[in-house]
């Protein structure tokens, strides 16, 4: 079962998360999400545990717990919805795409 962990301190490491979650069972993997440009953590992670019962115990035991002076949110991860695909964008600043020049007027300085 995949677990979402949110509101993490930027100082939290994979090792510190492993220590917290291993109290509830075996941890298969930990993925702390980082910014692709700066490499800095974004404040959330995904954890996979060995069994569903261990995952549910970890969610119950850790949701709302203080970790590095922040109250963490722990729940079952939902499937990712990809909002980036579909539709088309053919506009730009000041146009709707179908009627160029009829959108907002640009300021002239």
Tell whether 96 is covered by a domain: no
The predicted model scores a pTM of 0.72
50 or 96, which is more confident: 50
Q: What is the pLDDT of residues 3-36, one digit of tens each?
A: 999 999 999 999 999 999 999 999 999 999 999 9
Q: Give the integer Cα–Cα distance in Å for 44 and 67.
A: 12
Domain assignment present for 72: yes
Per-residue pLDDT tens for 81-92? 876 665 555 555
**What gap in Å lies between CA 43 and CA 33, rounded to an integer?**
7
Q: b/e map of 77-106 (b: 16 or more CB within 10 Å)?
A: eeeeeeeeeeeeeeeeeeeeeeeeeeeeee
| Structural domain that includes position 70 | 2-76
In a domain? residue 100: no
CA separation (Å) from 2 to 21, 51, 71?
12, 10, 20
On whether residue 68 sits in a domain, the answer given is yes
The domain tally of the chain equals: 1
β-strands 2-6, 66-67: how paired?
A: unpaired
Domain assignment present for residue 91? The answer is no
Model pLDDT, residue 81: 80
For 28-84, the pLDDT digits (tens) are 999 999 999 999 999 999 999 999 999 999 999 999 999 999 999 999 999 878 766
Indicate whether 90 belongs to any domain: no
């Amino acid at each position: 079962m995949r677990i979402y962990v949110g509101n993490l301190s930027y100082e939290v490491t994979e090792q510190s998360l492993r220590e917290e979650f291993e109290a509830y069972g075996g941890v298969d993997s930990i993925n702390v999400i980082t910014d692709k440009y700066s490499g800095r953590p974004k404040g959330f992670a995904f954890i996979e545990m060995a069994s569903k019962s261990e995952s549910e115990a970890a969610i119950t035991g850790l949701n709302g717990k203080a970790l590095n002076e922040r109250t963490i949110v722990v729940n079952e991860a939902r499937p990712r919805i990809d909002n980036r695909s579909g539709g088309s964008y053919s506009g730009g600043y000041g146009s709707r795409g179908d009627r160029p020049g009829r959108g907002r007027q640009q300021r002239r300085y």
